[in-house]
Structure 1
Amino acid sequence: SNSTRTEMFVHPLSNPGAAGICPEMLEVAEEASRAGDFNLAVEIYSSQLADLQQPDRGLCLRKADSLSRAGRISEALDSYCTAASLGKLRPEELQLLVETIARTLREKELGIHATVNGSNKSSSGEDGFQNSGECEDDEALDLFSCHLCKCLLHEPTTVECGHTFCKRCTDDDSVTNCVHCKQNLSRKEGLPNGRRINVVLSGLLDKLFATESKARKLWIEGEDSWKKQNLLDALEKYNGAVDLGKTLHLEMQNFSQRNLALLKLVLRMIIYCADDGEIRQTTAACGGRSVPAELLDSGDLECSLCMRLFYEPVATPCGHTFCLKCLERCLDHNPNCPLCKENLSEYLASRGYNKTLLMEEVLQRYLGDELAERKKIHEEEMKELSNLNQEVPIFVCTMAFPTIPCPLHVFEPRYRLMIRRSMETGTKQFGMCIADELKGFADYGCMLQVRDVKFFPDGRSVVDTIGVSRFKVLSHGQRDGYNTAKIEYLEDKKVEGEELTELLKLHDSVYDQANGWFTSLKDNMKSQILSHFGHLPSKDPDPQASPSGPAWSWWLLAVLPLENRAQLTILAMTSLKDRLIAIRRVLIFVTRKRPR
């Protein structure tokens, strides 16, 4: 409990004879205080102050003391501020505030519930300290506040899910999940180099909120000195922080009992540092900081790889930021950070490219027009990449046929990019051609549809594709290192009447011949074909139903021991009759050639 001296101490009035002061009412207020009804005392002092032309300094201090005793710390600070504006405060005038805070802290530490005016309130309750500075409601926090400590981000670090916090907050062992999205965060032992500061965001905060950033840094240094019991250095740092006069959050709830002496010093320091008798309160910035528009320059948010405004910005574990697409292209060639050369193999393996949400929000909110322009450029590029008539990406590798699976092992950087783009644009298609010494790739090929992509930790992938349709190359081109082509799709010319009767007869005869050849193969050869291509597809009732003709003919072409050039000639034919005759010739040849 408070000492009798403190309880009975009443601040003298500056002007006891002023019109509006009622000595009887003040007597009632003192009586209420002695009885422990501090809220009644507050009401009386408030009504007395309202009746005065000029506020009375002593009356303000009496009201402030009563508010302190009632546990209404934030209101008490307002009242002490008013008194300070009427005349510089002396340390002894804050005796009651300091002792109330000290008692509340002791109770908070011991988990005691203090009884205020007969009603039970936790010592950290709604009228306790936390309201003197901390934003209770996360919604009230602005973009640049850390949602763990509720203060301006200091040494911001972006975690795996894309959310950003102060580095020192995430270094706390008790923080195991993201408070925003609840994703599990990597343990410290899983981060050999620890969490890194997000370089771009750190620079941005220092630029936009220079004074507050500096004050926050000093405050944290003060806290560190405090923990090391280096009290004089702590005092100096706190002094510097308060001197900068920016909104800071005095984390009183973390002060433990053994540091109460320093708490008194801090409060005194706040008074001594006050300019012209005005106390600068230490409160968190709830509800939003204003961003000086003239300080925010799109050049601060530029990707160092494409030299354009960030689009889908992602932060690497080493703290550098790039556009998602730019980073992916760099990692196709080399698993190191493009800026600091730190190895990013694990990051590449996890493919955890989550966008830095704070950066996205800053771009949308403060550089909306520039971002819209950047998005437009990106969408135009995507549209261009999606046009499979104008410019088809060409994979130069092997023969591919309609309806036939074509598994690919992709390791070259240019093809990694090509496959990724075919997935991103949603076309999931590209052309396959064999190489040509003169032109780079052949004049005919087959479109492949991606069915599945499996990525390896080092960025290589196995792509499961299937042949879709044939095409003729009209012109050869290049884009970002890979080949492209302007194409036209090939379709078989349909026949009718007598020609159709002839075609059906030929179709059935070649099918039976093919079936005979496959059946006569040695078991090991047969099982090899089956494991790669499956069984010979059944005969089509209408061989002209598909623009590419019957599936079995492509299966046969894929498994027959034929050179690529010969296969290409047959692929290019748009007459099913000619194709069947060519296949029959090959079948006759391989049947004769086989040793009896």
Structure 2
Amino acid sequence: MLQVCSDMLEVAEEANRAGDFDLAVEIYSSQLADLQQPDRRLSLRKADSLTRAGRISEALDSYCTAASLGKLLPEELLILVETIARTLREKELGTSNGDGKSSSSISSGGEDGVEGDGECGEDDALDLFSCRLCKRLLHEPTTVECGHTFCKSCLDDNSDSNSSVNDCAQCKQMLNQKDGGLPHGRRLDVVLSGLLDKLFATESRARKLWIEGEVLWKNQHLSDALEKYNTAVELAPSSGRLLCQRAELHMEMRNFSQAVQDGNILCRMKPLWTKAHCLKATALSEAGRNDEALQEYLWCVALKPNWTKVKLEAQKVLSEVFSLVFENQDLPTPLHPLQGGVATRLIKPPALLRTLRPLTQKPSSSSQDSEFSMTKGPPVDESSCRLSSGSLSAVESSTKSVAGILAALPAPPGGLKRKHSGDGPSAIFNTPSKLPRPDESSVQSPFVGRSFPAELLDSGDMECSLCMRLFYEPVATPCGHTFCLKCLERCLDHNSNCPLCKENLSEYLATRGYSKTLLMEEVLQRYLRDELAERKKIHEEEMKELSNLNQEVPIFVCTMAFPTITCPLHVFEPRYRLMIRRSMETGTKQFGMCIADELKGFADYGCMLEVRDVKFFPDGRSVVDTIGVSRFKVLSHGQRDGYNTAKIEYLEDKKVEGEELGELLKLYNAVYEQANNWFTSLKDNMKSQILSHFGHLPSKDPNPQASPSGPAWCWWLLAVLPLENRAQLTILAMTSLKDRLIAIRRVLIFVTRKRQR
């Protein structure tokens, strides 16, 4: 008895590595011919080499030979599955990248079967009204603090139940408590919810039934859930994800034939969606239709070569197919590896082929029955044939049965080292249905280009209930109501409750998280462009008017303020909250400060203050850090939205020259010396109070006329001296530095004498 030559096997393996698969086949065939009994391991190696060479017909002979000697394990069929899948990919889809790896244009999802739930190309399919979590039409839309909108149920499912905070799935901003800080949890966005129900009435009803079905399914009320899904499918028959879930529900209810029907529809709708083929394959497999399941699994691997889980399923099913054809057959004598090839040229395909022919093969393709001829092998040594005629016929039928199952699939690509005429791409296979290339698909996702009649949407659907105008910078409150940002802020200045439902918004007010609702903004820009432009124009005109610090200056009626001197303010009145906010929004960051006047409301002179910093408190109050900038004279008094305004003109000191300047400098130096002596002579406790509030006495400026308002130390001194407001106001209004110095000197003389007494 001859033995297998290990050296020749090494040569065959080297030939395989070098891509010379036909040489490897010849070596394995030669080694098998020298054996009195066929060797299963060698038959498998030969089968793999034949597969790599594109000689599928002969490869099936060898696989059947190996199967007759022992059941084929799934892992032993990896090369056959990968080769057929690669052929499908290259011949039908035309999207090979040279290494057999998946292209993102065909399939989505990660490796090892981490398959996305969305349609093929779902990232591109998302439209304006889709939830970024579930990829479907927004249902009970809920807007979170950052301004993004999701389905309420998706937010609840996406939240970490063990944590009081979670991140926005879109921008990753950390959100507050998942219930939005409200006693009854997050609320749906009222305006957006009504808008979706109006624009997409049928789809919205379908989504509602869909969600209800999911809840019933989760609670194991399967029959009730199926009723919801059936009604939803009637309303939205083109929703692939809905059909997919109904098929999965049928699977759980063991309604495999119905699951297969849904799978068929999905594959026709979305021929490049791997999940559709996988779902159909699983249903077929559960229904015991392994031949058809194998086709779908192979399409899955063709569409997504790195999907390891599905590739293994294809190998398992193919293993079962090989096993089934040997069940209830008695093979007393092992099959010679070459005998099947000869027999299949002599015997026509049996009736079993017609039974196993894929469902997708057209009736007219019955002529293929005569095309399952195998490549002619080398001459057979008749003395080596030991099989009975009955055993031979059984194995021949086995080979043809497997070939029949694969008859719908095209052969591997050409360009191999040795071309065998009997195994060309069209020698034994016919595609089940010509799949469109990725850029030729005529079936669009229901999410792509979701549209509605233009007349359904008008500006009245997007009106702020406070200003009765089109939303500008729309903001959704935690309780679900939407207002213009400025309108909401003005309302919260007066009351911390929602203007519509009266829900307490103190926490929302405390965080001041007034982020614009991005979906609402996009709807306005996309569908109400002209109306939004007009609304923006009105807003800009208002801001321009507010930023004019001559015509209508906001006036804070409170205390005396002086140029260069800090003036901290505690703001709690709603009118002044609005005034401060507007000064920040316009960018001027300035407003006027005047003392009260019983007759006119506020004095005729004041000082402009510039905001350096604002600190807000949870109840809406704020501490505003300001500093004096310049003096002004009131020309006319007015009011706007509850606070005082004025038309003003700015005051500047009159400059002097010559002898007047010399006299001014002498007076300037003398008064400064007098002021310094007075401050130095103060008691320590009084001095500390002045220092803590106003700081040190400013240094003497060598040029007293450098600033339009005069030297800073004069204003510092005027602020700390014990003078009544009216006296301070008189000095503030002076435009002569000399007169101001004389007035300060008189005050210093008075307070010094008073202290000496």
TM-score, structure 2 normalization: 0.60
Identity %: 78
> SS of 1:171's equivalent?
helix
Q: What stretches of structure 1 of length at least 5 have no aligned partner?
A: 1-27, 48-74, 76-107, 114-120
The aligned runs of 1:298-447 (5 Å cut-off) are 298-447=459-608
| 1:145 equivalent in alignment to 2:306 | no
Cα deviation, residue 122, structure 1: 4.4
CA spacing shift, 1:326–1:592, aligned 2, 3 Å:
same
Cα deviation, residue 185, structure 1: 2.7
| 1:533 equivalent in alignment to 2:698 | no
| Residue in 1 that maps onto 2:150 | 165
- Does the 8 Å CA contact 2:131/2:138 hold for their aligned counterparts? yes
| Residue in 1 that maps onto 2:203 | 212
| Residue in 2 that maps onto 1:181 | 171
Q: Match of 1:298, as an amino acid?
A: S
Q: What do residues 239-291 of structure 1 show as CA deviations (whole Å, max 9, x unaligned)?
A: 111111354323747987995225648648969xx9xxxx9899952422013
Cα deviation, residue 173, structure 1: 4.4
Q: What do residues 498-538 of structure 1 show as CA deviations (whole Å, max 9, x unaligned)?
A: 11111111111111111111111111111111111111111
| Residue in 2 that maps onto 1:261 | 253
Cα deviation, residue 234, structure 1: 1.1
**Comparing 537-546 with 251-260, which one deviates more in the overlay?**
251-260
| Residue in 2 that maps onto 1:19 | none
Q: What do residues 186-205 of structure 1 show as CA deviations (whole Å, max 9, x unaligned)?
A: 34366342111001011111
Q: Match of 1:250, as an amino acid?
A: L
Q: Match of 1:499, as an amino acid?
A: E
| Residue in 1 that maps onto 2:283 | none
Q: Match of 2:191, as an amino acid?
A: V
CA spacing shift, 1:266–1:395, aligned 2, 3 Å:
farther
| 1:155 equivalent in alignment to 2:140 | yes
| Residue in 2 that maps onto 1:236 | 227
CA spacing shift, 1:512–1:341, aligned 2, 3 Å:
same
Cα deviation, residue 303, structure 1: 0.4
CA distance in 1, matches of 2:512, 2:152: 23
CA spacing shift, 1:541–1:43, aligned 2, 3 Å:
closer
CA spacing shift, 1:420–1:483, aligned 2, 3 Å:
same
Cα deviation, residue 494, structure 1: 0.5
Q: Which has the higher contact order (CA 8 A, sep 6+)?
A: 2
CA distance in 1, matches of 2:567, 2:246: 64
| Residue in 2 that maps onto 1:56 | none
Cα deviation, residue 181, structure 1: 0.9
| 1:553 equivalent in alignment to 2:543 | no
CA distance in 2, matches of 1:244, 1:532: 72
CA spacing shift, 1:538–1:261, aligned 2, 3 Å:
same
CA distance in 2, matches of 1:565, 1:269: 92
| Residue in 2 that maps onto 1:285 | 446
Q: What stretches of structure 2 of length at least 5 have no aligned partner?
A: 1-56, 65-76, 92-105, 161-165, 271-275, 277-443
- Does the 8 Å CA contact 1:135/1:141 hold for their aligned counterparts? no
CA distance in 1, matches of 2:445, 2:217: 21
> SS of 2:637's equivalent?
strand
Cα deviation, residue 219, structure 1: 1.2
CA spacing shift, 1:254–1:588, aligned 2, 3 Å:
farther
- Does the 8 Å CA contact 1:235/1:266 hold for their aligned counterparts? no
Q: Match of 1:387, as an amino acid?
A: N
Structure having the higher Rg? 2
Q: Match of 1:454, as an amino acid?
A: K
Cα deviation, residue 309, structure 1: 0.5
Q: What do residues 8-62 of structure 1 show as CA deviations (whole Å, max 9, x unaligned)?
A: xxxxxxxxxxxxxxxxxxxx9xx99x99879979999xx9xxxxxxxxxxxxxxx
Cα deviation, residue 160, structure 1: 1.2
- What is the aligned-residue RMSD (CA, Å)? 3.3
Q: Match of 2:178, as an amino acid?
A: K
- Does the 8 Å CA contact 1:472/1:489 hold for their aligned counterparts? yes
- Does the 8 Å CA contact 1:330/1:338 hold for their aligned counterparts? yes
> SS of 1:348's equivalent?
helix
Cα deviation, residue 346, structure 1: 0.4
> SS of 1:467's equivalent?
strand
Q: Match of 2:206, as an amino acid?
A: A
